[in-house]
């Protein structure tokens, strides 16, 4: 059963870490934190103290409500010219395991998602050297035509930057063409850590941090909202994490275009950084809590269960997160990097995790409008009835390019 929200400034705990006291004062007074406060939070070992503060802010904003969505991830290709050290998903065109889906195959996979009641397709892929911008626009047009009821959250700022380059269009015109084709919003990937020192090592050939922010700003200006992420737990310092969050917050002050923030835990297996140990549970909960506290102008902080594990993601619902993300189905980016979580969670499983944390599950669409299944064309009984055990991968209709 969901507990009543009861955190008040008066019920603040005595912090084990005295450095948290001045930060707590600001949080309880609703004041904005500065970079030094952010650093104090990241450097503190008083995880329960940091978590209490994040939960205080979370409950003030959302009470007990916790969101999830019914979505499907689609990765059109894993062929990628960027060769980022952080990534285990991208392949050279002739490498074993390289794939590129034909458009028909993408639409067929999407059709299965739509039949299961997905309200969102989350579409990201590699930077393919031979696919034209027109392929991606056709992909989107085809999805919109076939599944007009499904929100298309497609292509990261990194992909947008690449399409602009190959099509010789400005960023704005690239985004306008995507929007005209049917893109509804953009996912938050590719942000990694904005600081150039880190980017040079983990993703040297990606757009710069400043370019990522500029593309997001342009998307927001033309009416496309987006998410934002931060990849943590590799070579970045606490200062660089705080810098990343503060830059996102500054950008949000200007556009108010970011919908949700998702801290992404680095998975080192099969990457060029496989010698780095995975982030710990402590790191994961700290990442959720610090983002909730520093990003005071972001409504939603997602605990993405695929990368956190369902157990940590559930606990994160009391450390600042108010969303578990979705049913997903077929996740490749983390699983190529050694994730051992399932690739699919049913709606019932997500609701159970949320309820067991004393929260109230609310199904949402991509923009956090509550979903009323009774009013949808898909009968509620069909929604996500398959569990991971019953999941049957389709035969591959891979296009060789």
Which residues make up the interface to ligand V47 (CB under 6 A)? 86-88, 156, 187-190, 192, 227, 229, 231, 262, 264, 266-267, 271, 304, 325, 333-334, 337
Closest to ligand V47 by CB, 27 vs 87, is 87
Strands of the sheet with 360-363, listed across from one edge: 323-326, 65-69, 360-363
Nearer to ligand V47, 59 or 159 (CB): 159
Cβ atoms of residues 318 and 357 within 8 Å: yes
Nearest to 218 by CA among 157, 130, 277: 157
* In the block, residue with structure tokens 């393919």: 128
User: 213 to each of 107, 220, 226, how far by Cα in Å?
Assistant: 31, 11, 11
- C-beta of 135 vs 368, nearer to ligand V47: 368
Measured CA to CA, the distance from residue 251 to residue 194 in angstroms comes to 13
- When the beta carbons of 86 and 114 are compared against ligand V47, the nearer one is 86
In the complex with ligand V47, the residue whose CB is nearer, 177 or 228, is 228
Nearer to ligand V47, 24 or 262 (CB): 262
Gap between the Cα atoms of 291 and 395, Å rounded: 40
- Position with the least CB separation from ligand V47: 189
Q: In terms of CB distance, is 76 or 187 closer to ligand V47?
A: 187
Neighbours of 305 (CB within 10 A): 24
Rounded Cα gap, residues 59 and 321, in angstroms: 10
Residue 77 or 227: the one with the smaller Cβ distance to ligand V47 is 227
At a CB cut-off of 8 Å and minimum separation 6, what does 108 contact?
394, 397
Considering the complex, what minimum distance in angstroms separates the CB of residue 229 from ligand V47?
5
> Is 203:264 a contact under the CB 8 Å cutoff?
no
Q: Considering the complex, state which of residue 86 and residue 118 has its C-beta at the smaller distance from ligand V47.
A: 86
Q: Residue 325 Cβ, how far from ligand V47 at the closest point, in Å?
A: 6
SS3 per-residue string spanning 10-69: HHCCCCCCCCHHHHHHHHHHCCCCCHHHHHHHHHCCCHHHHHHHHHHHHHHHHCCEEEEE
Q: Least distance in Å: CB of 232 to ligand V47?
A: 9
As measured in angstroms, the least distance from the Cβ of 11 to ligand V47 is 33
Residue 130 Cβ vs ligand V47, minimum distance, rounded to whole Å: 22
Tell me the C-alpha distance between 279 and 259, whole Å: 25
**Least Å from the CB of residue 42 to ligand V47:** 19
What gap in Å lies between CA 320 and CA 7, rounded to an integer?
A: 13
**Rounded least distance, CB 106 to ligand V47, Å:** 18
Q: Tokens representing 135?
A: 């392929």
What CA–CA distance (Å, rounded) separates 68 from 20? 32
Residue among 54 and 264 whose Cβ is closer to ligand V47: 264
Q: Please report how close the Cβ of residue 388 comes to ligand V47 at its closest, in angstroms.
A: 18
Smallest gap from Cβ 63 to ligand V47, in A, equals 22
Least Å from the CB of residue 192 to ligand V47: 5
User: Which distant-in-sequence residues (6+ apart) come within 8 Å of 361 by Cβ?
Assistant: 66, 67, 68, 350, 351, 354, 355
- The span from the CA of 199 to the CA of 48, in Å, is 32
Q: What is the DSSP string of 192-239?
A: S---HHHHHHH-TTSPPHHHHHHHHHHHHHTT-EEEEEEEESSS--HH
């Amino acid at each position: 059963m969901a507990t009543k929200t009861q955190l008040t400034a008066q019920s603040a705990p005595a912090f084990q870490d005295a450095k948290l006291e001045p930060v707590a004062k600001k949080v309880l007074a609703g004041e904005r934190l500065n970079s030094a406060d952010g650093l104090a939070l990241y450097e503190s070992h008083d995880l329960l103290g940091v978590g209490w503060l994040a939960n205080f802010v979370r409950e003030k904003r959302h009470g007990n409500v916790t969101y999830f969505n019914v979505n499907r991830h689609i990765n059109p290709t894993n062929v990628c010219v960027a060769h980022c050290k952080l990534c285990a998903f991208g392949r050279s065109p002739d490498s074993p395991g390289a794939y590129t889906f034909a458009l028909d195959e993408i639409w067929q996979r999407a059709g299965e998602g739509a039949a299961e009641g997905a309200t969102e397709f989350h579409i990201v892929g590699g930077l393919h050297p031979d696919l034209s911008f027109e392929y991606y626009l056709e992909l989107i047009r085809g999805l919109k035509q076939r599944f007009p009821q499904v929100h298309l959250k497609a292509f990261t700022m990194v992909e947008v930057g690449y399409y602009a380059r190959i099509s010789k269009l400005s960023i704005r015109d690239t985004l306008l063409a995507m929007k005209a084709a049917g893109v509804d919003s953009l996912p938050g990937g590719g942000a990694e850590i904005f600081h150039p020192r880190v980017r040079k090592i983990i993703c040297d050939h990606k757009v710069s941090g400043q370019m990522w922010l500029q593309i997001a700003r342009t998307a927001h200006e033309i009416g496309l909202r987006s998410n934002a992420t931060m990849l943590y737990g590799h070579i970045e310092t606490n200062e660089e994490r705080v810098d990343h969050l503060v830059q996102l917050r500054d950008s949000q002050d200007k556009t108010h275009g970011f919908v949700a923030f998702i801290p992404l835990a680095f998975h080192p297996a099969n990457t060029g950084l496989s010698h780095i140990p995975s982030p710990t549970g402590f790191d994961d909960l700290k990442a959720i809590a610090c983002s909730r506290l520093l990003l005071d102008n972001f409504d939603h902080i997602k605990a993405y269960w695929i990368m956190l594990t369902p157990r940590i993601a559930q606990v994160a619902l009391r450390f600042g997160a108010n969303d578990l993300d979705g049913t997903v189905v077929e996740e490749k980016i983390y699983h190529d990097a050694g994730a051992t979580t399932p690739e699919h969670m049913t709606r019932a499983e997500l609701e159970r995790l949320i309820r067991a944390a004393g929260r109230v599950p609310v199904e949402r669409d991509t923009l956090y409008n509550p979903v009323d299944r009774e009013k949808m064309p898909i009968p509620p009984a069909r929604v996500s009835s398959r569990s991971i055990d019953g999941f049957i991968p389709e035969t591959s209709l891979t296009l060789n390019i």
